[in-house]
Structure 1
């Protein structure tokens, strides 16, 4: 073992003792998770490319660009981090001896931070885009283009990359973590390490909170529009489908990342060191975000749901019609909770036309929660 006086900074971990235990976790377990995640993201990327070529809806094409950025980020995150971990398990190399300058350790630490923050920041950006697209569709359509959407994805990558580079400037540090197969931020009582740990966790928690608030407003707005006169409203099928996918992405990110982010926040504020077993557990838990994200788009698409429920009334081409009971509950809920507010906004002429449309001489009207498709 290298003498402590000559130990490089990234291996002089002040928060937790370094333990060289390569057999602490079986290699095949990490290999299965990594391969599963890589295949999932690759399949999702192929599906996204096909959907981009087939879609004619502008807002949907913007959403697919964000999803493509998320899939690419998850794929590269698994590829880079798993390469380091797998090489450790295969060779049982001691990083203190093979990387005395801390270059590989710093690179892996940067990768962990970068590919950890990117999905959370992209989720918040997608929530902002959907919020503007649903609340202010005309303003969004006149200002947003595919080029600007790509620029927003690049901006998210730039912000996450800038945060991951801060330890190289002295603000925080990256250290080897037990069992010696990976590097991550050093959670200690030092001012720089303490501040960087809080920055990482707070950026993630703020992103999740912003996604939750904006998605909630977007869903409520969709319910209001869904209750409007179907023939007088523009198509909302794609909006509903995108919101379902975005909410699932938000739920997965919250469940996978909140335990780790809260744990880092508590450890940084306490300043008493951390429990390595808990940190390792929550890191593995967060890794599932990169594995589950692609399956949201692979499974929760209208084409897939049609195959799962082929007996649904697809003439209405509405995602809500997939589940009639859910659809009836939504109608009942909107009538009771939103009816008074919406009733005052409907012109008198529209009310009269709605009354006339329900006369016995006319065919049975479609449900007010279903919106006609235009695309």
Structure 2
């Protein structure tokens, strides 16, 4: 009956209670999408195995290349501020690389082998692991982007509020805290808040967009936290960019250019724009879907086909975030920008912004102890 209702165009609240077999599946990670629809559309472009294969290989190669460039650059730096920023970038690249590696190692084999999840994973352990990976490696880049934006905000707008820049060890500690928080978030369904379920076309697992109290809370928590991270990044980066623009357009801008800060901000803005374009459609879609289902609380055991397909499309968009992130650093480094815009040359540090500082303090504030 639910399938007939779906085909006749009935809304969320019009669907009748599922039969006993569907209800029995509601407590497992299977039965949220129609497997027969998946098999009949297996040859369509949206479910083509070459999407996952191509995205996975391109993303892995891009992140591996960016990681090599990052490691090479970090050995040549003496600036502590720049070094800490590279630590955050390294954490972002490692997160994207591992996210693609872990998820692709399950998704790509499925597309070519077409194994039966209920037989291979009757206890839903693999599905829970894949769902956890999707949430963990999805939320980490957003939180790291907000963390990097906050660090640059305080570094640019309050350069003398800290005696020294963030050390590499402290920067790695912050990255570890972000990983730990994202891990805790991803474990919530395993601990009882919401659940991970198999998603269309049967190759991946993710949070469940069904009108159950636990599912709704977890979906809203995941989506709102992601939106908050993007908005926080936007606020911090906007203020930082305005500060740098004010410095550049000052009458003494030739002496006050801070190329290193500009380079970092260009990279941060690029990361923020990519995250916004790739993630916001999915996060908004999750909120809209779970809130629209609330009037039909408890009566829906299967997502409509169109909802399943839209979720897959938005996940494809999110994958591009992991692919494009490393290229922001690769393409928007100062060495590359100087070839495009030759007038970018090293200039005096931020100390030139404060000509009234007494000589003794200026001697203490070297290029490496403040912000290069």
2:89 is matched with 67
When normalised by structure 1's length, the TM-score is 0.79
Pair 1:11-2:29 in alignment: yes
Query: What is the CA deviation profile of residues 309-346 of structure 1, one whole-angstrom value per residue up to 9, with x for unaligned ones?
Result: 5xx335x436xxxxxxxxxxxxxxxxxxxxxxx9xx99
CA contact (8 A) 2:81 2:165 kept: no
Q: Residue 209 of structure 1 aligns with which residue?
A: 231
- Give how far 1:137 is off: 1.3
Cα deviation digits, residues 291-314 of structure 1 (max 9, x gap): 0000001111111123345xx335
Is the contact between residue 194 and residue 217 of structure 2 (CA under 8 Å) also seen in structure 1?
yes
State how 1:297-312 maps to structure 2 within 5 Å: 297-309=329-341, 312=342
How large is the RMSD of aligned CA atoms in angstroms? 2.4
1:255-294 → structure 2 map (5 Å cutoff) = 255-271=277-293, 275-294=307-326
Query: 28, 48, 66: which one pairs with 1:44?
Result: 66
Q: Secondary structure at the match of 2:210?
A: coil
Q: Secondary structure at the match of 2:123?
A: coil
Matching residue of 1:114: 136
Q: Secondary structure at the match of 1:137?
A: coil
- Residue 109 and residue 65 in structure 1: after superposition, are their counterparts in 2 closer, same or farther (change >3 A)? same
Tell me, in whole angstroms, the C-alpha distance in 1 between the residues paired with 2:202 and 2:103.
14
* Residue 317 in structure 1 maps to residue 346 in structure 2: yes
Q: Counterparts of 1:157 and 1:163 in 2: how far apart (Å)?
A: 10
Closer, same or farther in 2 for the Cα pair 1:12/1:93, shift >3 Å?
A: closer
1:53 deviation in Å? 0.6
Higher relative contact order (CA 8 A, sep 6+): 2
Deviation, structure 1 residue 77:
0.5
SS at match of 2:205: strand
Match of 1:195 among 217, 230, 234: 217
Q: Structure 1, residues 196-253: CA drift from partner, whole Å, max 9, x if none? A: 00000000000000000110111111122334435875x6110000000000000000
Q: For residue 137 of structure 1, what is the aligned residue in structure 2?
A: 159
Instruction: Say if 2:22 and 2:31, in contact at 8 Å, map to a contact too.
Output: no
Could you list the structure 1 runs, at least 4 aligned residues long, displaced by more than 4 angstroms after superposition: 3-8, 230-233
Q: Is the 8 A contact 1:10 1:105 kept in 2?
A: no
Taking the TM superposition and a 5 Å limit, the aligned residue runs for 1:72-91 are 72-91=94-113
Bigger drift between 22-31 and 147-156 goes to: 22-31
- Alpha carbons of 1:181 and 1:151: their partners in 2 closer, same or farther (altered >3 Å)? same
CA deviation profile, 1:264-304 (whole Å, cap 9, x unmatched) = 01011111656111111001011100000000011111111
Counterpart-to-counterpart distance in 1, 2:137 and 2:29: 22
> Per the alignment, do residues 198 and 94 of structure 1 end up closer, same or farther by CA in structure 2, a change over 3 Å counting?
same
CA contact (8 A) 1:260 1:282 kept: yes
Shift of the 197–18 alpha-carbon distance from structure 1 to 2, 3 Å rule, reads farther
| Secondary structure at 1:39 match in 2 | helix
Measure the CA separation in 2 of the matches of 1:133 and 1:140.
9
Q: Which runs of structure 2 are paired with 1:144-183 in the superposition (5 Å)? A: 144-183=166-205
Write the distance in 1 (CA, Å) between the matches of 2:322 and 2:285: 20
Distance (Å, rounded) in 2 between the aligned partners of 1:144 and 1:284? 36
- Where structure 1 has 5 or more consecutive residues not aligned to the other structure, the ranges are 319-341, 348-373
Aligned residues: 317
Q: Contact conserved, 2:81 with 2:166, CA < 8 A, in 1? A: no
Change (3 A) 1:242 1:254: same
- Is contact 1:13–1:186 with CA below 8 Å preserved after alignment? no
